Amino acid sequence: MTDALPRLATSADNAALLDLFGDVPMRGELVLATRREPDFFSLYRMQRAEPFVYVADGPRGLTGMCTALLRDGWLDGAPTKVGYLGDLRVRFDRSRAFARFFGEYFDDLCQRTGCTRYYTSILASNQAALRALTRKRSERSRQPHYELLRPFTTVSVQLTFRPKDTTGLRVDSARPDDVPALVALLDADHRRRPFGYRFDDGELEHRLAHWPGFTLDSTLVAKDGAGRPLGVATVWNPQPVKRFQVRAYGGSMRWVKRGYDLAASVLRWPKLPDPGHEFRYAYLANVSVLNDDVRVFRALLEAAYRRLHGSGLHFFSFDLGRDDPWWPAVKGFVTQKLDFALYAVTPQGQLRTEWPTGRTGFEVALA
C-alpha cells in the first residue's frame, strides 16, 4: 500500500494531527515537540485567516502535513491577499508524498485562492529543510520559488535577576480610550511592511476579542508627555493553544541546563524543564515603535520583564532581524537566541525575486 496524495484535513483528523506533531519534534541541541492539545485547530481559528491544512495518509496514520493561512494584508503599500506557510511536519522514513507533490498542490492552492504571495520561516540549522525547500531540482520543475526576505533571530529573555529601569520612560497598560491611537500607530507601521497586517480593518480589535489572554491590561504602551503612544507591545501567553515540550538536551545545551539550574537553585529562578516537561513562556506580540526608537523598545522590554518576573515563567520571546536597529535594547538581559530565515514563496509561473527590505509582518507568536 502506497501513501496517498495530500488532501485537506477535517476536524476528524484532530487526534492524528496531535499525534504527528508530538511524533516529529524540532531537532537541534535542544529537541522540542510542539503541543497543541486538546484542539489542534484552535491556533488557526483565533486568527483572521482561512486555513488550508494539507495532510498525507499512510498505512499507519498521517505521514505528513503542512498549512497555508490566507489573510488580508499589505504588500508594496497596497492591500492584498497574502499567505503564511507553516507547520510542516513529515515522517521522513514513511512518506515522500510532500516532496513529490509539493509543487502540484501549491499551484492548486494558488489557483483555488487567487493568492500567489506567501512567506514562511525555516530554522537556520535545519539544513535538510533548507535543501529540500529552497534548492532547485530538475525533477521538481514546479517547485515553488523561495527568495530570502530576512534572516532573523528569536530572542528569549530569561527571567532571572531582578528587573531594572534604565530608560526613565513610563510604560502602562493600555486603556479603552488608547485603542484608536494604537490602531493608528500599528496601521502606519504595517502598511510599510511586506506581508503587514490590516490593523486599519480591525486586526487589533480581533486579537483583543479572540486571542485567549490577549487583553488591554497585557498590552504595554509607552507615551510621550502629551499622552501620545510612542510604542506598543502585548505580553501574550500562548499556553491555551501552543506549548513547547522538551524531549532532550544535547551538545552544549546539557551544560547550559546544568549551569542554569545550579544558579536557579541559589537565586530562586525557575529551573529549566526536564525532558518530558514543558517550557512556561510568553511572547511580545504586535510590537510597534514610532520611528524604531531603540530607547522606547528598551522601555517596553523592561516593562514586560517587570510584568513577568516572579510569575513562574522561564522567559519571554520576540524576533529581531539580523540588521534590526533594536538590537542594542537587548544588551544586559540574559538571553537565548535561535536563528531562522524568513522566505517569500511564489509559484514558478509568477515567481518574484525582488522584495522590500526591513521588518515584515511576520508574527513569531503565531509561527
Give per-residue pLDDT as tens, 148-199: 999 999 999 999 998 888 999 999 999 999 999 999 999 999 999 999 999 9
Contact 233, 300 (CB under 8 A): yes
Contact 273, 279 (CB under 8 A): yes
Would you call 76 exposed, middle or buried from its count of C-beta atoms within 10 A (0-12, 13-18, 19+)? exposed
Contact 185, 288 (CB under 8 A): yes
Q: In which element (H, E) is residue 43 found?
A: helix 42-45
Contact 182, 174 (CB under 8 A): yes
**What is the widest separation between alpha-carbon atoms in the chain?**
70
Listed in sequence order, the residues at least 6 apart from 248 whose beta carbon sits closer than 8 Å to its beta carbon are: 30, 31, 275
3-state helix/strand/coil string of 278-313: ECCEEEEEEEEEHHHCHHHHHHHHHHHHHHHCCCCC
Q: In which element (H, E) is residue 231 found?
A: strand 229-236
Say what the pTM is. 0.93
* Domains of the chain listed by start with CATH number: 7-151+340-366 (3.40.630.30), 156-244+269-339 (3.40.630.30)
Give Rg (Cα) of the chain: 21
- Rounded (10°) CA dihedral 135, 139, 145, 146: -20
Could you say which residues of the chain have pLDDT below 70?
1-4, 92-101, 137-141
Query: How is residue 113 written as a grid cell?
Result: 485562492
Give tens-digit pLDDT for 86-129: 998 888 654 565 666 577 788 889 999 999 999 999 988 888 77
Q: Strand pairing partners for 56?
A: 64
